[in-house]
Amino acid sequence: MNLPTKSIDPSLVPTLTIRSSGAQIPVIGFGSFGSDHVSASDMAEAVKMAVLTGYRHIDCAAVYGNEREIGRAIRELIDAGVVKREELWITSKIWNDHHGQGDVLLSCAQTLKDLQMDYLDLMLIHWPFPNYHPPQCSVDSRSPNAKPYIHNDFMKTYRQLEALEQMGLVRHIGVSNVTIPKLKLILQDCRIKPDVHELELHPNFQQTELRRFGEELGIVHIGYCPLGSPHRPERDREADDSVDMEDPVVQSIALAHGIHPSAVCLKWAVQNGCIPIPTSTNPSHILSNLEAVIQDPLSPQEIEQMSCVDKNCRLIKGHVFLWPSAHDWHDLWDERGVISC
Ligand SMILES: NC(=O)c1ccc[n+]([C@@H]2O[C@H](COP(=O)([O-])OP(=O)(O)OC[C@H]3O[C@@H](n4cnc5c(N)ncnc54)[C@H](OP(=O)(O)O)[C@@H]3O)[C@@H](O)[C@H]2O)c1
């Protein structure tokens, strides 16, 4: 087993309280999406390194195609006495091709089998659309069967998620990639409120209105692409995308603290009450990302400065989920305050 050069006592990592249960969720998680450049086995090694370094929160998903390898890696750590299952916060997600009746239970069963666990701490519906697309397909391709958000259909999927919680297979449930209009409808019709919303969040894309809306309802926000996903595939890049870690304000704060801009992004997220889930296969990044959230907070003035770097720059636009009559990716995000159809 490769050991980290230094590890952090996990009890030093702050937690947030989940309102419905009082459960504690670590304020930083480890992302496990290898995209198309990190193999399943390399990501499993990175997860192992992360747990050995002191992370206790891992963000998984069926669609990442690596839950079996990650499950094996975590099992090895548990068997070696490095960590106990109950010390970990494990999230997974239902992919878009498993929204149908009975599919959510099947997806959860497969994830539990792959991860070698008998419960998950959190299960999310990955996207609010049941729209399948082949892995690594072109962003211009549109599935002829793709649909816009249909609330009654979504609630049929959500009801199955509620049943997973009632069966004790998952301890908490939540949503990902939803908007205020969609959340309002979900909250109106759910029996068990979503505890968590996982959404894209980084200094150049702060989603303040959406977060404030959720916070008032006691929803915890997990932020993905917290560093601006610098190695995302070419197909997910557009000419006017900004680069968070090159932002002059982020860089000047980093310089003042003698830290890397990545640490500024992570501190900013945590000090805004959110939970960043950075990914890395580099042991020194894995360590410095964890250290960032326990050392040397940004000052109130710096937090104020950071609020001015929002460029509303969404990186994961979601083109591949568009339905045939949709205009463009903006339709996925209900930007006019009503659900696009
Ligand atoms: N719910 C959703 O729909 C959704 C969507 C996308 C992502 N996610 C989740 O969010 C996680 C994070 O997203 P992401 O990986 O796209 O973006 P990210 O965490 O912002 O960026 C990860 C990249 O940053 C680099 N990096 C990490 N730490 C660094 C450091 N200290 N200094 C410099 N570079 C550093 C990594 O390269 P090295 O390996 O070289 O460190 C890696 O390529 C995913 O793994 C996944 O779990 C969820």
**pTM as predicted:** 0.98
55 belongs to the catalytic site: no
- Quote the pLDDT of residue 137: 79
The answer to the question of residue 249 being in a domain is no
Taking the centre of ligand 1 as the mean of its atom positions, its distance from the CA of residue 139, in whole angstroms, is 20
Give the closest residue (by CA) to ligand 1 atom 28.
Answer: 285
Taking the centre of ligand 1 as the mean of its atom positions, its distance from the CA of residue 107, in whole angstroms, is 24
- Quote the pLDDT of residue 2: 87
- CATH number assigned to the domain comprising residue 121: 3.20.20.100
Q: Tell me if residue 4 falls in helix, strand or coil.
A: coil
Taking the centre of ligand 1 as the mean of its atom positions, its distance from the CA of residue 325, in whole angstroms, is 32
Of 66-75, 228-237, 280-289, which range is least confident?
228-237
CA–CA distance, 200 with 216 (Å, rounded to integer): 19
Structure confidence at residue 131 as a pLDDT band (50, 70, 90): confident
The answer to the question of residue 160 being in a domain is yes
The answer to the question of residue 318 being in a domain is yes
The answer to the question of residue 304 being in a domain is no
- Quote the pLDDT of residue 135: 76
- Quote the pLDDT of residue 235: 84
The answer to the question of residue 265 being in a domain is no
- 312-323 pLDDT, tens digit per residue, is 999 999 999 999
CA–CA distance, 179 with 177 (Å, rounded to integer): 7
The answer to the question of residue 263 being in a domain is no
User: Which of 241, 280, 314 should be mutated for ligand 1, with most atoms under 8 A from CB?
Assistant: 280
What's the chain's average pLDDT? 96
List, as one string, the DSSP characters of 121-149.
Answer: SEEEES-SS-----TT--TT---TT----
Residue 113 token pair: 């089998």
Structure confidence at residue 141 as a pLDDT band (50, 70, 90): confident
The answer to the question of residue 40 being in a domain is yes
The total of structural domains in the chain comes to 1
The answer to the question of residue 254 being in a domain is no
- 46-74 pLDDT, tens digit per residue, is 999 999 999 999 999 999 999 999 999 99
**Residue 176 belongs to domain spanning:** 16-233+270-283+310-333
Give the closest residue (by CA) to ligand 1 atom 39.
Answer: 280
Whether the per-residue pLDDT at 234 is higher than 90: the answer is no
% of the chain residues with pLDDT over 90: 93
